[in-house]
Amino acid sequence: MTQSLRGVRPNIVQSIRAFRVSDLQEAAHAAGQHFLYANLGNAQTKQDVLDLIAQQFTFPQHFGKNFDALYDCMTDPLHKSGPQPGFVIVLEQIPANAKFDKEAREQLLDIFRDAADYWGDRKIPFRCFYSFL
């Protein structure tokens, strides 16, 4: 385990705080894990957030662009595609405005918490780091 991920539970969603994106990317690479990054700084609405995540995570064209579809893309198809080495995910600059309020932000993070639980049940590390705009 690299220094950047040492001391970080294997299945967690937490604020990025003192971590740098480049260090997390290097740690994921060194651990042989998937690194997924989405910069949501240009998003204003739930639809914007979902569009940017889908684009930056390279989801399939048929992505439903709702929270249920987001959860599905983060779990089942990946599990069915074979053994997974683990995940380090960064959601940077999640909007904090009237169109994407606290409830919407919590719903988004809950999707990633549920995905962390899903992968944790399968003994696959899933770490998600986030920041707000």
Q: Tell me what the mean pLDDT of segment 118-132 comes to.
A: 96
Instruction: Enter the tokens of residue 47.
Output: 């639809």
| Residue 1 in this model has a pLDDT that exceeds 80 | no
Quick one: pLDDT band at residue 61, thresholds 50, 70, 90?
confident
- The pLDDT assigned to 5 comes to 82
**What would the pLDDT profile of 83-102 be if each residue is shown by its tens digit?**
899 999 999 999 999 999 99
Taking the whole predicted model, whether its pTM rises above 0.95 is answered as no
DSSP summary character for residue 39? E
Q: Tell me what the mean pLDDT of segment 19-38 comes to.
A: 95
**What would the pLDDT profile of 96-119 be if each residue is shown by its tens digit?**
999 999 999 999 999 999 999 999
Question: Collapsing DSSP states into helix, strand and coil, what is residue 48?
Answer: helix
Q: Where are the alpha helices (DSSP H) in 1-133?
A: 21-30, 46-56, 67-74, 76-80, 102-121
- The pLDDT assigned to 3 comes to 64
